[in-house]
Structure 1
């Protein structure tokens, strides 16, 4: 039976019930807004560990003022029963979304890019979440993701565990090897491993380790290699595998050391895939954008009598989309971006020859402008373009 009120809050519905708390949807008449209220069950009132966790969660979240962490509005007691008042997340949880199937890489990147800075801030404060999982990633009405539920969080400087037995704390399906073994003091890299497990599940729609028992899960997390994403979901790009292998490395020293580094690597993969898809539709194969010194050379196109130009410069109808993508700083990490417009054709030829002589071909990205080009009697390269294309080209050149 629903309580009518908890404190000043009018209870509207039960949102969820677990072993350590019950969560209600309530209305705050003072601020005229809906909120979520987390209530410690009566049967745990005199259990010191759970009471301590509840108090700790309120203090931890109140200290973490980050836009991607579900904020606490209030904390109180009713008949000695403590409760937390939090923002109501109307968009549901990541668990709800995974019930509909895998999440595409672009959406997975968006989610990670939003959560990673929040997780790094948690770690910077010396806190480890210890129970990240899809049900603890919530969405607001604008579809923005948030980290929630710090009930099992701990400070890295603490050497005591919030369990009666001193055993591992967390959800076995998402625990890191060191968290399962409980032999070393864990740090933020344990949460980063867990974020990798969540990414695996987002991309494939399945947990990486399939077993029916917590012990079986523990053994697989500790000893079994990271499965291939494509074995579980063939549509996942193969380029994602090195990222998932690194973030889920058994040894924490081999993982990404920050959540942002992990999210950035996945972003680079996704952006590179996007450019490859665009370039394939335009008949162009791009070199790797992820290693070595890189230079973006933007030049005109058409048929030239000059042998080098005629071999290198081809029409690319999709160039505006490619150029726009290069504006993204996560893709366009070039040492230089040079735009050759209205330049003597000999200068264009020498520039291309010099770059191929001084750099590996994989270091050079050539973009071919999709407008009419001609070489006049004075040997100058002219481009006939629309204003929009011309502005786009110039914007890319100086970005």
Structure 2
């Protein structure tokens, strides 16, 4: 009989396989602003992807580079994500993000505007332009009030409930992927569906044993390659924990140590870090962070109902 390797060996292997590819020497020398030349090989002054003009680099992730851009037809500002590498698995994941995002229409989900392949052969995804910062940046100034944390939880859950109803699991719910338009908590939008997957999809888009997600917010079942709507319940629970206490539920000296804590350690006491947190709210967050998906609220609608029933919201 074949036995699974011990947790530490499994997690170590996952982390090795999940390491991002090293940038080329040219990319390291020229940094983000120069990636455009490396990726497209065309002049900065008038770089086009479809009908969109790229203006400046604003961020970089595992799959690509995000640029501020402009729609030449309407003049509107847009955000354009470019795929930086062309490996087949990465390309399929990028295409899947675009295909899933265009099916989701909700005021709390970043709006899809288009995608395609440029004349230079570069895959691109265009989304609405958002001014502000993400919740992770906001939390650098300290935890939220209990009322604001509950409001954030309800609005994020509303958006994710729509995604789940469409069969889409985000798989990377965390403060960094909750954007605050104009830096206002009431203007939250869920962003970055790069790890999202349709619940009925039978095509794995990661190497066997590769970990997809963010240590500290990843659900235990993701360490074994499983995910459903309750995986996002876990991610939102970890996000609520951070909103209320100022830090994620599990910490460690390195990503592997964090993943082991996620799998093995009980949820730390919220009240010990912040005594004024209502007991019912703490109990809900702890359930959302259950090691077994069956221990968690069954879906986002249940999360919304329980948060709204805490008698905290006006």
Q: Is TM > 0.5 for Structure 1 vs Structure 2?
A: yes
Q: Please give the root-mean-square deviation of Cα atoms over the aligned residues, in Å.
A: 1.9
Counterpart position of 2:137: 96
Identify unmatched segments of 5+ residues in structure 2: 1-33, 37-43
Alignment partner, residue 171 of structure 1? 214
State the partner residue of 2:99: 59
* Higher RCO (CA 8 Å, separation ≥ 6 residues): 2
1:18 aligns with 2:56: no
Bigger Cα Rg? 1
CA distance 1:218–1:157, shift in 2 (3 Å): same
Alignment of 1:108 onto 2:149: yes
Instruction: Give 1:149's aligned residue.
Output: 192
Q: Which runs of no fewer than 5 residues in structure 1 stay unpaired?
A: 275-324, 326-399
Which whole-Å CA distance do the structure 2 matches of 1:24 and 1:212 have between them? 33
CA distance in 2, matches of 1:97, 1:264: 26
Instruction: Quote how far apart the aligned CAs of 1:166 are.
Output: 4.4
**Given that residues 113 and 260 in structure 1 are in contact (C-alpha distance below 8 angstroms), is that contact kept between their aligned partners in structure 2?**
no
Aligned pairs for 1:169-318 within 5 A: 169-182=212-225, 185-271=226-312
Give 1:217 deviation, angstroms. Answer: 1.5
> Conserved in 1, the CA contact under 8 Å of 2:98 and 2:125?
yes
| 1:54-93 map, 5 Å | 54-78=94-118, 79-93=120-134
Deviation of 1:108 (Å): 1.6
CA distance in structure 1 between the partners assigned to 2:116 and 2:68 by the alignment: 16
Aligned-pair distance for 1:124?
2.0
In structure 1, C-alpha distance between the alignment counterparts of 2:304 and 2:222, rounded to whole Å? 22
* Divergent runs of 4+, >6 A: none
Note the alpha carbon deviations across 1:256-291, whole angstroms, 9 max, x for none.
Answer: 1111321332233252xx7xxxxxxxxxxxxxxxxx
**Whole-angstrom CA distance in 2 between matches of 1:142 and 1:87:** 16
- Aligned partners of 2:103 and 2:166 also within 8 Å: no
TM-score scaled to structure 2, two decimals? 0.79
Residue 118 of structure 1 is aligned with which of 152, 159, 177?
A: 159
Q: Secondary structure at the match of 2:70?
A: strand
Deviations 1:222-250 (A, max 9, x none): 22111111223344344421111111111
